[in-house]
A and B are shown apart, each in its own frame.
Chain A
Amino acid sequence: DTGVSQNPRHKITKRGQNVTFRCDPISEHNRLYWYRQTLGQGPEFLTYFQNEAQLEKSRLLSDRFSAERPKGSFSTLEIQRTEQGDSAMYLCASSIPGQGVRGYTFGSGTRLTVV
């Protein structure tokens, strides 16, 4: 078990460009979460999936953001027309009911810098 894997670890992009991040959860975890973390703040929930179904989206997830989990395994988070305010750490987590709170596992995140 290699934990939750996120790629890339760092991304620098120019304002207006599209970016896509990938998250590979722990293999048997059917729930997958995306969070955003800006400097000096705790992570903020964006959205979560149970298998391939996106069950909840935060109001933080604007129209420029889209998340998918097409086969219930890995997930992608795309940001279109990036803005400087999108600069943040994007964290992915996965979990499976019945494993208790220790089963809720975060990845190390993708740090996005929009210049």
Chain B
Amino acid sequence: DAKTTQPPSMDCAEGRAANLPCNHSTISGNEYVYWYRQIHSQGPQYIIHGLKNNETNEMASLIITEDRKSSTLILPHATLRDTAVYYCIVRVTTDSWGKLQFGAGTQVVVTP
């Protein structure tokens, strides 16, 4: 699986959009981009994934560049409960099996 690069931390004001970047310049054509988040003292939680098209669900939006070398997770209206570490992962399968390879992630702090 390709490696990813994320900024170590970022702050966001409550109610504003949080845009979390991820670089995955060595991504292969059959690798998907996944985002997870980990709230303090909890396990990681799936947020969203995509291959090449932009995706949106009830939690967030995922924008993948045309060359697929980077992506951005967007939390449209950040709340204090969105304070967490966010992980960007690339992997081949969309099925729910296999190990996940996490990096250090981005610590997001949402402030009032």
> A residues bordering B, Cβ < 8 Å?
4, 31, 33, 40-45, 48, 56, 91, 93, 95-109
Contact = CB atoms under 8 A, between A and B. Distances in A.
B28 interface: no
16 contacts: A4-B43, A31-B97, A42-B87, A42-B103, A43-B102, A44-B102, A45-B100, A97-B95, A98-B96, A101-B34, A101-B49, A104-B96, A104-B100, A105-B43, A106-B43, A108-B42
Interface string B36-49: 00000111111001
Interface residues of B, number: 21
A31 B95 CA distance: 12
Nearest to B6: A42
A101 B105 CA distance: 19
